Structure 1
């Protein structure tokens, strides 16, 4: 779990950055208690300011939870990016793609298990409609990482352009559902080794659907 950010947010506040201090506080609250724990009053209390001061930066709960959500998504994307950076480089495009698919899927599920509060907040509501941020377009958003890999599948001729969207949705639904079963469902009681085996086997079967002849 993330450590409390009281010292960090207080430092940010005393440096005149109250808005970001409140966002950091909201992310800390999310880590501890999920999206339900994120309120303007709770964030203000953690920073050490009055709710009135906080409302100068956020008009209400929706705006704060939207900002907290973006912070949580960034943390998830960062964790997944580290998985990619840890891979051994290879000139074999197909082998590289397989390894990166495995790393992203494993990183996604591992983050959900390690940080369930942040994970749940990453997919909660917030500002909707014309004022909503284009969150899924951020380069380090997990969805954009997946989009990039699927684009490579198309480029390599592994799947057709017509199957692009279906492949994206299948892959995301698979790891998202697996993550939820790990933190809330029938796989919640697995130990680390069993959890890793289940994830690896699930991803192996998905890869085999794309490359039936691969071992």
Structure 2
């Protein structure tokens, strides 16, 4: 830079760089997150950034972790909006429904962050978060379905990948595939159909005694 770095108090620069990365990736996805662009956005030199991030991948991993946190927040918000005043077995299914719908909602509302969220693997040496991430929310919902008798234990193994693959595939079609130009009400309905199909497939053969919604879904 031809001008002096913007001053930051001790320890604030890493957070400022991640915040700059979030702003850039929100608008342009993972491709917009380069060290040059991020340091320019934060008002500092690349040299200053290298004191905290070894390279672009390091910065991307830390920024992507924040977008996954935002995704988890959207999932939790969607679960809450669907309602929690249900019997335990129906609530377990409702939680899985909220996880799926929240995932799709995030892809629609934040396509740039959705692109970044899974563009880099997490750092295995990073300190564990005290908040559940998207995958943990999915796992917890499936485990609750087993605990309440909705999902047969023998059908639990690997169920998370069937759920994740189906919903992520649809979300990707919406975010950057052939569905990206569809009107939002159409996509929302298609998303609900996908999630209900996922739920039906997961619990097939395990529904004895489960309380169903008026439309026949769990």
TM-score w.r.t. the length of structure 1 is: 0.84
1:65–1:126 Cα contact (<8 Å) kept: no
Find the counterpart in structure 2 of residue 163 from structure 1.
155
* Equivalent of 2:177 in 171, 174, 185: 185
Superposed displacement of residue 15, structure 1: 4.3
Superposed displacement of residue 211, structure 1: 5.4
* Equivalent of 1:36 in 3, 12, 31: 31
- Summarize the Cα distance change of 1:167–1:116 in structure 2 as closer, same or farther, 3 Å threshold: same
TM-score w.r.t. the length of structure 2 is: 0.83
* Equivalent of 1:98 in 72, 93, 118: 93
- Partner SS state of residue 112, structure 2: helix
Segments of structure 2 that go 5 or more residues without pairing to the other structure are: 1-5
- Partner SS state of residue 109, structure 1: helix
Structure-to-structure mapping, 1:145-164, within 5 angstroms: 145-164=137-156
Superposed displacement of residue 62, structure 1: 1.4
The answer to which of 204-213 and 173-182 deviates more is 204-213
Q: More relative contact order in 1 or in 2 (CA 8 Å, sep 6+)? A: 2
Superposed displacement of residue 22, structure 1: 0.3
The answer to which of 84-93 and 99-108 deviates more is 84-93
- Summarize the Cα distance change of 1:165–1:37 in structure 2 as closer, same or farther, 3 Å threshold: farther
**Is residue 48 of structure 1 aligned with residue 27 of structure 2?**
no
Find the counterpart in structure 2 of residue 23 from structure 1.
18
- Partner SS state of residue 165, structure 1: coil
CA distance in 2, matches of 1:75, 1:85: 15
The answer to which of 112-121 and 198-207 deviates more is 198-207
Find the counterpart in structure 2 of residue 140 from structure 1.
132
Would you tell me which structure has more helix in proportion to its own residues?
1
CA distance in 1, matches of 2:150, 2:182: 34
Segments of structure 1 that go 5 or more residues without pairing to the other structure are: 1-9
CA distance in 1, matches of 2:75, 2:122: 25
CA distance in 2, matches of 1:39, 1:138: 29
| 1:14-71 CA-partner distances (Å, limit 9, x unpaired) | 4440110001111111111111211222111111111111111111111101111111
